[in-house]
Amino acid sequence: MHGNKQHMQKDFFLFNSSKARSKSYINLREVTQRFRLSPGEYVIVPSTYEPHQEGEFILRVFSEKRNTSEEIENRIEADHPVPAPASAGEESEEDHHFRTIFQEIAGEDMEITANKLKNVLNRVITERKDLNTEGFSLESCRSMIALMDMDGTGRLNLQEFRHLWNKIKQWEGIFKHYNADQSGIINSYEMRNAVNDAGFRLNNQLYDIITMRYANENMNIDFDSFISCLVRLEAMFRAFQAFDQDGDGTIRLSVLEWLQLTMYA
């Protein structure tokens, strides 16, 4: 693991035994242990006895020579694939089929409102027995429209809807990969890996916020919560990058800009 500064996957701990650990892993007010380790690079994993609980810890390192330590996975960034422009060539059979479906949903105005989006998404996922979901809320669908609404109409045209549809299919594939037991839900640990696979690198504090915001009382995330989380993440990253003109990772917003940003996301 030399030089690795990213989140350690489960396989790392399955195939690498610990070099040292506390003798008693029980629910005590305080656990203290002292270790002597040979020179090398180590991952230190503080843990509470009960899962999903917060706890404080103190780490003291004594060494003969200068040592460095840092928190793993401290960078925050996202991949943002640019939507492919519409082809100017002939419409393929798949394109024609998609356009037909869109016309049936959108009606004469050829635009999809949040209500129409909610109806079509919930109609699709109710047919999927491998997805555990309470259904997409109107608020979630408004967030999807805000993410894809490039022309500022508050509705989705054909190209915007197709881009959203492709994203949902991509994210569904990630969700199903981590839903290996076919329960229709993923746990908070799997959620961390799924968010990473979707192109978002976050730190521990943000993963804790995601779990608190989108997980149920058993720390599990269903399909619509998973999609809603990714929609919000992509929207906020995209908005930040739009304001971060010099690319230094910081932005300055007025109250009006802050409210405009957060109210429509």
pLDDT in tens, 159-177: 888 888 889 989 999 999 9
pLDDT at position 199 is 92
Q: Which of 8-12, 38-42, 188-192, 230-234 has the lowest mean pLDDT?
A: 8-12
- Identify the band that residue 60 occupies on the pLDDT scale cut at 50, 70 and 90: confident
Report the distance separating Cα 194 and Cα 186, nearest Å: 9
Give percent helix, percent strand, percent coil of the chain, each to the nearest 5.
45, 5, 50
Task: Tell me what the mean pLDDT of segment 122-133 comes to.
Answer: 80
Domains and CATH numbers, the chain: 78-84+92-264 (1.10.238.10)
Max alpha carbon distance in the chain (Å)?
Answer: 76
Is the per-residue pLDDT at 84 higher than 60?
A: no
- Residue entry with tokens 């009382």: 217
The closest alpha carbon to 219, from 56, 73, 53, belongs to: 53
Query: Could you give the 3-state DSSP secondary structure of residue 200?
Result: strand
Q: Is the pLDDT of residue 228 over 70?
A: yes
Tell me the whole-structure pTM to 2 decimals: 0.75
CA dihedral for 73, 171, 188, 1, sign (positive or negative): negative
